[in-house]
Amino acid sequence: MIPEIGHFALIVALIVSLMGAIVPHMAIARGDTRLMAMAGQFAYAQFLLATVAFAALTYAYVISDFSVLNVAANSHTAKPLLYKLSGVWGNHEGSLMLWILILSLFSACVAYGGKNLPLRFRSRVLAVQSALLVGFLLFVLLTSNPFERLDPAPFEGNGLNPLLQDPGLAFHPPMLYIGYVGLSVAFSFAVAALIEGEVTPLWARWVRPWTLAAWVFLTAGIALGSWWAYYELGWGGWWFWDPVENASFMPWLAATALLHSSIVVEKRDALKSWTILLAIVAFSFSLLGTFLVRSGVLTSVHAFAVDPERGVFILAFLAIIIGGSLALFAWRAPKLTPSGIFSLSSRESALVLNNILLATFAAVVLVGTLYPLVLEAINGVQITVGPPFFEFAATILMSPLIVALGFGPLLAWKRGNISRAAQILLPAVIISLFVFWITIWHDAAGMIMTGVGIGLGSWLMLSVMLEINKKTNFWIHPRGFWRRAKKLPRATWGMSLAHAGLGIILLAITVSEAWTEETLRLMKVGDSELVGGYNFTLEEVAPVAGPNYTAVRAHFLVEHNGNFIARLAPEDRVYSDPPMNTTEAGIYPLIRGDLYAVIGEYAGSNAWSVRLYFKPLISGLWLGAGLMALGGLISLSDRRQRIGAPASKKRLAFVSIAAKPAKVPKPAAPAKAIKPKKPTKPTKMAKAATPKKRTKPKKSVKTGA
């Protein structure tokens, strides 16, 4: 009964979404404000229905209702509750349900938090969101119904892939999906702006918090996935340039570029068409990524089952959404008012360079990911594009980006003074060159790339510090530092944190790649092995039993110069449903680096194969990613970022402008015929309402949109 309710909710949601996709456009054409306001109600209804459907599926998983095919194929009674829940999205149908739930959640958030948006514009945005939802609901209902029944019901289910039975991975897909789907809001805003034929600095301010939120989740989701690979796969690797990893990396690159370009739109009213295009491209990348995984065309650890029917639907859906939005862009973008002018050495130029490099990187990753597919389709030759390709591209593209990143925040808008910035950054230049030289000199083997990586990492960290020093005057008047630091806008702190996080990641990657020590050998109980200066002794190997697996657990004692450091307990687990082994690495993070032990199989005569690593500074990867996400959150908490609740005074000004276009009903005309509005009036007023760079943040913090 419950699954049928879920199925029914999906069908009703489809009807509501269809209405939500059409009615607002009609209402705008007629100038009917009351009907326009309905868009919000549609969004709430969609969210409610999607929640009911998702809850129904979750319920079936929790009570292990094996009369539902999806549950029988992916769950098992002996699974712990957490993995029964995460099993809901650990398969094709369920992950689409999660996508639908999050998409409708975002629509509801836009409806709720976007009350300050002009009604007309908000309705358009919600209509585009509804149209996206229609596509996904059709896909689920026509090709991948999660509520399909099975008769007779089996007594026991197939179980979830044990690799996925891990707390890290229970949260990795939802995080990533929130990131992916969050970009749909930027997409809808862009499409709505194209339909309206107007992009203002105000538009950039509306869209930025959504992009920022999506970016934070995307960053966290990718980091979580890479962390999972690091400790669960037992190879000590954390990024493989696997097509599916690339699929999550491309939207991240595009979203990062979008975050930066939308600042230029907001502050300087320039780069408008490009920003709109980026918003479309960023979401297209997440669609492409999701569907590449779903359609099974990619051979990957992540790939779900292949189904030609789905493949055709997916292709059609991608063609309509991506092709349609790009066509709309080609048609409407020339009507956007042209951009403002800026000098070669200005903040804008630095951000343009950032965008060019990030976009190029995304394009290279796209080519590297799709080239094998295209080649196979053309002449049947199967190739793989290996990590060297991506790593090389990353090096040559990210190095100039990081050099420029030191300068960017110190350049003024419109016309900056690069030599003055260089003066401020002089200590960073000297120190990082010194570090570069030391690294190369220290390792006579000539590890130039290692030197470059470490040099760039320290350059980035130092330049962030110097920039904060400059802004707070710490060096000259250390006493008032905290007072001045508090006065800096949170967005500035967020930016600095995120940039510093990138520097830490860069250092961690370089150092861990260059100086990881690895040993592979057979060990008997009592044997010792020295890895990276740490002495690993195998103390005991014993069987243990978990809720739905049995395992062999090794106990390693780790000592450094005779002092106790840690005990590691790696496991080799054997799951019964489905029958499969997994490796649980034993990891102990030190400040210097990670101690990492893996136990392999029994090799006879009391010996086990073991793999021991010392991975210097590798924790910096997740620390850095965490800092980036934290920086995003801090920036998001900046009052100026929030469309829902700007401070009281500004709020009035803001609302009055925001509401203006809505109050003036357009003459009844189809959307096609809408002329691009003359932007002079709203633009000027919007600028006046845009607080200057250094507004004092008020202490009273309202909850954000």
Query: Could you say which residues in the range 520-579 bind other proteins, by CB under 8 A?
Result: 520-522, 572, 578-579
3-class DSSP assignment, residue 23: helix
**Which 3-state string (H, E, C) describes 605-644?**
CCEEEEEEEEEECCHHHHHHHHHHHHHHHHHHHCHHHCCC
Exactly one of 20, 40, 90, 221 binds other proteins (CB under 8 A); that residue is: 90
Burial 301-335 (b: 16+ CB within 10 A, else e): eebbeebeebbebbeebbeebbeebeebbeebbee
Question: CB of 532 within 8 A of CB of 590?
Answer: no
Taking the complex as a whole, how short is the minimal distance between the CB of residue 85 and other proteins, in angstroms? 17
- List CB contacts of 702: < 8 A, sequence separation 6 or more: 642, 644, 645
Is residue 173 left, alpha or beta, with left meaning phi > 0 and alpha meaning psi from -120 to 50? alpha
- Out of 202, 264, 280, 357, the residue judged to bind other proteins by CB under 8 A: 357
Within positions 654 to 693, which residues make up the interface with other proteins, using CB under 8 A?
none
Nearest Cα neighbor of 333 from 191, 529, 120, 168 is 191
Residue 342 sits in the site that holds other proteins (CB under 8 A): yes
Half-sphere exposure of 484 (CA within 13 A, CB side): 14
The single residue among 17, 116, 165, 345 that binds other proteins, judged by CB under 8 A, is 345
User: Which range of residues in 207-215, 515-523, 631-639, 685-693 is near other proteins by CB under 8 A?
Assistant: 515-523
Nearer to other proteins, 353 or 636 (CB): 353
Closest CB to other proteins among residues 51, 550: 550
> Which residues in 475-619 belong to E strands, given as ranges?
517-524, 528-531, 534-545, 549-560, 563-568, 571-575, 580-584, 586-589, 593-602, 607-616
Q: Which residues, 286 to 305, sit near other proteins by CB under 8 A?
A: 296, 299-301, 303-305
Q: With CB under 8 A as the contact rule, which of the stretches 85-93, 175-183, 280-288, 504-512 interacts with other proteins?
A: 85-93
**Cα atoms found within 13 Å of the Cα of residue 482, Cβ hemisphere only:** 1
* Residues 51-80 close enough to bind other proteins by CB under 8 A: 69, 72-74
Nearer to other proteins, 306 or 542 (CB): 306
Which residues fall within 8 angstroms of residue 140, CB to CB, at 6 or more apart? 10, 93, 96, 97, 100, 146
Q: Is 142 among the residues that bind other proteins (CB under 8 A)? A: no
Which residue number, 198 or 571, has a Cβ lying nearer to other proteins? 571
Cα dihedral: 486, 408, 400, 288 (round 10): 80
Is residue 85 involved in binding other proteins (CB under 8 A)?
Answer: no
From the list 221, 234, 243, 646, which residue makes contact with other proteins (rule: CB under 8 A)?
A: 234
Least spacing, CB of residue 158 vs other proteins, in Å: 6
Nearer to other proteins, 185 or 568 (CB): 568
Q: Interface residues for other proteins in 577-636 (CB under 8 A)?
A: 578-583, 598, 600-601, 603-604, 607, 609, 611
Integer angstrom CA distances of residue 304 from 86, 89, 298, 365, 370: 16, 12, 9, 22, 18
Sheet of 593-602, strands arranged across: 517-524, 607-616, 593-602, 586-589
- Out of 85, 370, 397, 424, the residue judged to bind other proteins by CB under 8 A: 397
C-beta of 399 vs 637, nearer to other proteins = 399
Determine the distance from the C-alpha atom of residue 562 to the mean position of all C-alpha atoms in its chain, rounded to a whole number. 44
CB of 415 to other proteins, least distance (A): 6
Instruction: Determine the interface stretch with other proteins among 118-126, 383-391, 456-464, 469-477 (rule: CB under 8 A).
Output: 383-391
- 87 or 221: whose CB is closer to other proteins? 87
Nearer to other proteins, 198 or 584 (CB): 584
Cβ closer to other proteins: 26 or 580? 580
- In whole angstroms, what is the distance from residue 689 CA to residue 653 CA? 6
Q: How far is CA 485 from the centre of its chain?
A: 29
Asked, as a colleague might, if the bond just before 372 is cis with ω within 30 of 0, I would say no
Site for other proteins in 405-424 (CB under 8 A): 415, 417-419
State the binding string over 163-182 for other proteins (x if CB under 8 A, else -): x-------------------
Answer for the pair 111, 40: CB distance below 8 angstroms, yes or no: yes
Closest CB 463 distance from other proteins, rounded Å = 19
Size of interface with other proteins, in residues (CB under 8 A): 74
Window of 104-112, 152-160, 211-219, 614-622 that interacts with other proteins by CB under 8 A: 152-160
Q: Tokens standing for 363?
A: 């394009």
**Which parts of 204-233 interact with other proteins (CB under 8 A)?**
233
Kindly indicate which of the ranges 122-130, 348-356, 536-544, 623-631 contains the residues binding other proteins, using the contact rule CB under 8 A: 348-356
Would you count residue 320 as binding other proteins (CB under 8 A)?
Answer: no
